[in-house]
Chains A and B, each alone.
Chain A
Amino acid sequence: MDDLKNIVPKCIEEDISFGDNIVTSIYKKAEEISNEVVTVNDSNHGRIERKIDNLLTSKIFGYPFMLILLGLVFWITIEGANVPSAMLADLLFGFEAKLTALFTSLNSPAWLHGLLILGIYRTLAWVVSVMLPPMAIFFPLFTLLEDLGYLPRVAFNLDNAFRKSGTHGKQALTMSMGFGCNAAGVIACRIIDSPRERLIAIITNNFVPCNGRFPTLIAISMIFLGLGSASKFSSVFASLSVVAMILIGIVVTLLVSKFLSVTFLKGVPSSFTLELPPYRKPQIGRILIRSLIDRTLFVLGRAVMVAAPAGAVTWLVSNIDIGGISLLAHLSGFLDPVGLLLGLDGIILMAFILGLPANEIVLPILIMAYMSKGAMLELDSLESLRELLIDNGWTFITGLNFMLFSLLHFPCGTTLLTIKKETNSKKWTLFTFVLTTSIAIIATFIINAIATLIGIV
């Protein structure tokens, strides 16, 4: 063995051209065989594709096209999700009334009805009716873009911006995966070779809103930005505001990446070659099946699993009295001072904290908590949700800050565990948690302070 170890470096030293010779021989042979067996009849092939690429990745049209496409996807999602959302809510809450009647006829104790129906069932009904329709529309659309081959073009467009932030252009791809699920986005960071750039991509992946947060963002944007304006354009405004949220997410990603690459993770960006894959005709049928089963139902299943216990906890917290005041009031009273500083309130913060296992359940918990405060209105439409929120002191700023906090705050439990696994370090996991939460707090605090100063609130 030692003999071998000695002889090899000696050979290489004597003539360093071995490696080159090997590589050139391989490439030459490949070319030779290819020339012998391949015939190309049409010299025009690929011309149209190249034209499309020049347009999609051009300096002038690249970004606008990207934004228009993104806006379109959200507009279809919002517009399409409205009706089925209301129908699902009608159906599920109608069933709730029947269940309640059943419990009454069986003379079941009030706490049992409360825990099972008002707690668990109602939260589940909210999760399903708020989340299922947008996901069932968004996921197939997103998968369509992925199958077409558009995602690498996005990476190409954003490469320059990322390089200026001292990071890797492939981060745009991992970000795109984050739209579906941040945990998947973090895993996708394996495509980045340099450890420094990989770490930055992992830490910042959370600033892309995942599907767990989309329905929340969409619902709130429709309430505070959509319905407020002329109803004909409400969904357009709502989708524009969701696009704006994503842009904020991208800008924050770039800023934080820049910040990290000049402070904690210093270094120069490494270069890479990004291959633009050919456009391929997507398989519509397969996309529908796969995105519905793999993504939509899976994500929904996870949300339901987390939502059931969370609903029970929320009901218990709001119905256990200590000294005549409910535990919920105690908790929200405790969090209120912080919440109000951020333009939110104690219950919102509590919903975010309880939503750590999965971001999907933040809004349902919030609704549950508000409703348990006595205002038992029939929540069957976004309009009544809007009334509930306004009754609880929500303003435009609360809506905006709620969306921002949702966009920027700590990653969900699964993502945190994945970060720990991928970085193999508790330190970086904690760092991500603290960094994202600090940014969320600072951003909402500043907006609230400005709004208070100029007297909007």
Chain B
Amino acid sequence: MGLTSQSSGFSLLKEKFEIQKKPNQKVIALAGNPNTGKSTLFNNLTGLNQHTGNWPGKTVTNAQGTFKYKDNDYLLVDLPGTYSLLANSVEEEVARDFICFGNPDITIVISDSTCLERNLNLVLQVLEITDNVIVCLNLMDEAKRKGITINIKKLKEKLGVPVIPMVARDGKGSKELLDTIDKMIKKEIKTTPYRLTYNKKTENIVNEIEKKLKNLIGNKLNTRWLSLRLIDGDKQILKSIDEIVKNNSLSKEEI
């Protein structure tokens, strides 16, 4: 968050936190490490002019905007910048909960091409949760200046999802991104997201828990990922599952 008319003065008091989705609107979540250009891309796509500043953590409010491309209306949610989704901080929890429980139609992970390795940690974690992922490699100009080249084709193969090189602040790559979004919504792109396999012991226990989870909540959510979080000792997740189970039984009673 920078200093803007939305972030200072009276409009602070009218801030809207809830995601209000209109029917037929497709929801896109925008995730990424801090200071990789999420807000810049957000502005590009929505035409909104949120101020972007060059410091990590400036997006503390939950920004959302809408845009239209070809036949669809989209709601874009700018998530707080995080290095991982293991919920070590409030930001990570917000981002993780939205990607997992908010059921976005597409999740865009924007990465800093100048330090891909660190950014891939988040990409891999997002790939574990959801299938419809687009990876944007932002700051390609800076990477080039630093003598870094990235084999996009190979990365695409490794990750199993579309990878789009970008220079978000100049709007380079936006068109390709929009087309990819469009194709993904129309199911013209099939993704085969890379899923990590862990050591045997971990896998065994995950399978066991996953079976029980499936009985509880069915196939709606990514049970493998939830099981992984559970054995990671994540208490918050257990609470969220508890709520879902309760809601489920409620809606059954209503019927």
Tell me, yes or no, whether B176 is within 8 Å of chain A by CB.
Answer: no
A residues near B205, Cβ cutoff 8 Å: 11, 18
A residues near B147, Cβ cutoff 8 Å: 40-42, 44-45
Most chain A CB within 10 A, of B53, B89, B230, is at B53
B150 contacts A37, C-beta separation under 8 Å? yes
B residues near A294, Cβ cutoff 8 Å: 3-5, 49, 51
Stretch of A113-121, A213-221, A277-285, A428-436 at the chain-chain interface: A277-285
Tell me, yes or no, whether B250 is within 8 Å of chain A by CB.
Answer: no
Can you list, as one digit per residue, whether each of B31-56 has a CB less than 8 Å from chain A (1) or not (0)? 00011000000000000010111111
Q: How far is it, in angstroms, between the C-alpha of A302 and the C-alpha of B9 when the chains are bound?
A: 8
B56 contacts A152, C-beta separation under 8 Å? yes
Stretch of B65-73, B102-110, B195-203 at the chain-chain interface: B195-203
The residue that B34 contacts in the complex, of A41, A187, A275, with Cβ under 8 A, is A275
B70 to chain A, nearest CB (A): 28
CB nearest neighbor in A for B169: A283
B residues near A22, Cβ cutoff 8 Å: 198, 202, 228, 231-232
A7 contacts B209, C-beta separation under 8 Å? yes
Tell me, yes or no, whether A225 is within 8 Å of chain B by CB.
Answer: no
Stretch of B19-27, B115-123, B182-190 at the chain-chain interface: B115-123
Tell me, yes or no, whether B125 is within 8 Å of chain A by CB.
Answer: yes
Q: How many positions in chain A have a CB within 8 Å of any CB in the partner chain?
A: 69
Instruction: Give the A-binding residues of B (Cβ under 8 A).
Output: 1-5, 7-10, 12-13, 34-35, 49, 51-58, 60-61, 84, 86, 89-90, 114, 116-118, 120-121, 123-125, 142, 145-152, 154-155, 158-159, 169, 196, 198-199, 201-202, 205, 208-209, 212-213, 216, 228, 230-233, 238, 241-242, 245
A residues near B89, Cβ cutoff 8 Å: 193
The residue that A421 contacts in the complex, of B12, B90, B142, with Cβ under 8 A, is B12
Q: How far is it, in angstroms, between the C-alpha of A131 and the C-alpha of B53 when the chains are bound?
A: 24
Q: How far is it, in angstroms, between the C-alpha of A436 and the C-alpha of B154 when the chains are bound?
A: 59
The residue that A40 contacts in the complex, of B8, B56, B148, B159, with Cβ under 8 A, is B148
A188 contacts B212, C-beta separation under 8 Å? no
A33 contacts B35, C-beta separation under 8 Å? no
CB nearest neighbor in B for A155: B55
Would A7 and B53 be within 8 Å (CB), given that A36-B154, A275-B35 are in contact? no
Most chain A CB within 10 A, of B86, B114, B121, is at B121
B56 contacts A277, C-beta separation under 8 Å? yes
CB nearest neighbor in B for A417: B13
The residue that A5 contacts in the complex, of B8, B202, B238, with Cβ under 8 A, is B238
Query: A-B pairs with the 9 shortest C-beta distances?
Result: A42-B147, A181-B8, A34-B117, A45-B146, A30-B120, A180-B3, A41-B147, A184-B8, A190-B60
Would A177 and B3 be within 8 Å (CB), given that A1-B242, A191-B60 are in contact? yes
B33 to chain A, nearest CB (A): 9
A residues near B151, Cβ cutoff 8 Å: 36-39
A-B contacts, 14 listed (Cβ < 8 Å): A1-B242, A3-B212, A22-B202, A37-B150, A38-B149, A40-B148, A146-B54, A173-B55, A187-B60, A274-B56, A275-B35, A275-B56, A293-B49, A298-B4
Tell me, yes or no, whether A264 is within 8 Å of chain B by CB.
Answer: no
Q: How far is it, in angstroms, between the C-alpha of A152 and the C-alpha of B89 when the chains are bound?
A: 20
B residues near A38, Cβ cutoff 8 Å: 116-117, 148-151
Q: How far is it, in angstroms, between the C-alpha of A11 and the C-alpha of B61 when the chains are bound?
A: 38
The residue that B55 contacts in the complex, of A23, A31, A151, A417, with Cβ under 8 A, is A151
Tell me, yes or no, whether A454 is within 8 Å of chain B by CB.
Answer: no
Would A418 and B12 be within 8 Å (CB), given that A1-B242, A26-B196, A151-B53 are in contact? yes
Tell me, yes or no, whether A148 is within 8 Å of chain B by CB.
Answer: yes
A298 contacts B8, C-beta separation under 8 Å? yes
A8 contacts B3, C-beta separation under 8 Å? no
Q: How far is it, in angstroms, between the C-alpha of A311 and the C-alpha of B49 when the chains are bound?
A: 33
Tell me, yes or no, whether A147 is within 8 Å of chain B by CB.
Answer: yes
CB nearest neighbor in A for B229: A22
Q: A38-B116, A40-B147 are in contact. List 17 more A-B contacts (CB 8 A).
A: A1-B245, A4-B209, A7-B209, A15-B201, A22-B202, A22-B228, A23-B86, A31-B117, A37-B155, A41-B149, A183-B9, A187-B1, A191-B57, A191-B60, A278-B114, A283-B169, A418-B12
B245 to chain A, nearest CB (A): 5
Most chain A CB within 10 A, of B5, B123, B125, is at B5
A residues near B57, Cβ cutoff 8 Å: 170, 173, 191
A26 contacts B121, C-beta separation under 8 Å? yes
Tell me, yes or no, whether A330 is within 8 Å of chain B by CB.
Answer: no
A418 contacts B13, C-beta separation under 8 Å? yes
A140 to chain B, nearest CB (A): 12
Q: How far is it, in angstroms, between the C-alpha of A421 and the C-alpha of B12 when the chains are bound?
A: 9
B55 contacts A37, C-beta separation under 8 Å? no
A295 to chain B, nearest CB (A): 6
